[in-house]
Amino acid sequence: VSVPEPTVSPAGTGTQLPALDSERLRSTLEEAAQIGRWRSPGVQRLALSDADRQMRDTFCAWCQDSGLEVRIDRVGNVFARRPGAGDEAAEPVMVGSHLDTQVAGGRYDGVLGVLAALEVVRWLEDYGVQTARPVEVVSWCNEEGARFRPPMLGSAVFAGGLSLEAALEELDDDGRRFGDELERIGYAGTARVPGPPPHAYFELHIEQDDLLERAGRDLGIVTSAYSARGMAVRLRGRTGHAGSTPMERRQDALVGAAEVIAGLDALGRQGGTRTRATATRLDAWPNRAGIIAGEALITLDYRHADNSGLNRMTQEVERLITDASARRGLEWSAEAVWEFGSGITFDPNLARLARDNAQRMGVEWLEMTSAAGHDAYWLATVAPTLILFVPCVGGVTHNEHEEIEFDRVLRGANVLAATVLEAAGHELKPLEER
């Protein structure tokens, strides 16, 4: 039985190119998975850590070896450019994602999108394909927000959604400043921010749920996004002796926090598949044995498939906090710490291009809504943008056991290649003339 070789066939004149170099992509991913290795098979590459620096250095070396010109902007985003045949000032087609990870990070979240983009330009180089526009591989800084808030910080600054000054002043838990850490690892670049919007932006990312897997499809074309809000809630009670203070006289901030946390979880469950709600972090003070907690700081993260739903959730979250505080004799204050996804639209023309390519290449796709935040959200505010999802096993993510079926992911990456090629403009000859 002979299985036809997979090909990449962009729309147009029946042109076909051999597929991406699967072994090269696989080995590049494996090499990256060794950097910041943690709780095998996972990785931990917090933004601006030594592991992040090592990953960036390796990535930049790969880009330079492929003849790309590397540029770094003032907030630490890295761009690697392959020039186009046309006007040097033409806006590039940008493709990428992020190289940082969560504390319990996996081997694919983010890095897959950056290295698939690198594979696309290596593949253009392999076949001497001349695109009209430049193609740029990009790695956005501090996407996860696991060390510095907010998440998607680098792309937010690039798109003008957050000021450079505010970003540089962000502190981590140990009081280290974002700007100092960026200098320390050698990635405080000089390219200006906000950056010039690209002609188009593409991001390939693992789905981080199991809808593709269950539907038996290999590609998700993201057409909408959940609206998400992050909120820091401070509950203030009164410290007291854990033994001698009578129960009815306690103003226990931790008990109030527990009620808010459980109530938020219940709120998330009420909305079925359209809502998500979690308290992701709890800090208590003084957090010592023998003493009733006088203060608790909770970070809430809640999301809704549509924006009006998110606003309703906000009202319910506030009621939850008010009620718990009243029952426990606490004062409270709340501050929004991030918001993303509201009113985001992805480009219908790029989506159609990807659909047509998938169709032609025999890749089954599904239209999807993204519940996770991505750098593409910020890019979508300044340029035509498309996110492509590829399946991850069991939807396990932000976890060291993140896993993919490589062959399925490769199909999505080949659709990415075809779609990038078209968006960048090319003069490929039809097969019969080659």
- Binding residues for Zn ion (CB under 5 A): 109-110
Token pair belonging to 156: 């937010």
User: In this complex, which beta carbon is closest to Zn ion, that of residue 119 or of residue 144?
Assistant: 144
Q: Which residue is nearest to Zn ion, using beta carbons? A: 110
Verify cis geometry, omega within 30 degrees of 0, for the bond prior to 286: yes
Closer residue to Zn ion in complex, CB, 47/261: 47
CB of 199 or CB of 374, closer to Zn ion: 374
How far, CA to CA in Å, does 408 sit from each of 49, 74, 128, 366, 393?
32, 37, 26, 14, 11
Is residue 98 a contact partner of residue 144, using CB atoms and an 8 Å limit? yes
Q: How far apart are CA 215 and CA 228, in angstroms?
A: 26
Cβ nearer to Zn ion, comparing 199 with 205:
205
Q: Which is nearer to Zn ion, 109 or 347 (CB)?
A: 109
C-alpha torsion angle, residues 422, 426, 429, 434 (rounded to 10): -100
Distance (Å, rounded) from C-alpha 101 to C-alpha 118?
19
* CB 118, min distance to Zn ion, A: 16
Q: Which residue, 329 or 394, is less far from Zn ion as judged by CB?
A: 394
CB of 109 to Zn ion, least distance (A): 4
CB of 115 to Zn ion, least distance (A): 13
Residue closer to Zn ion, measured from CB, 36 or 263: 36
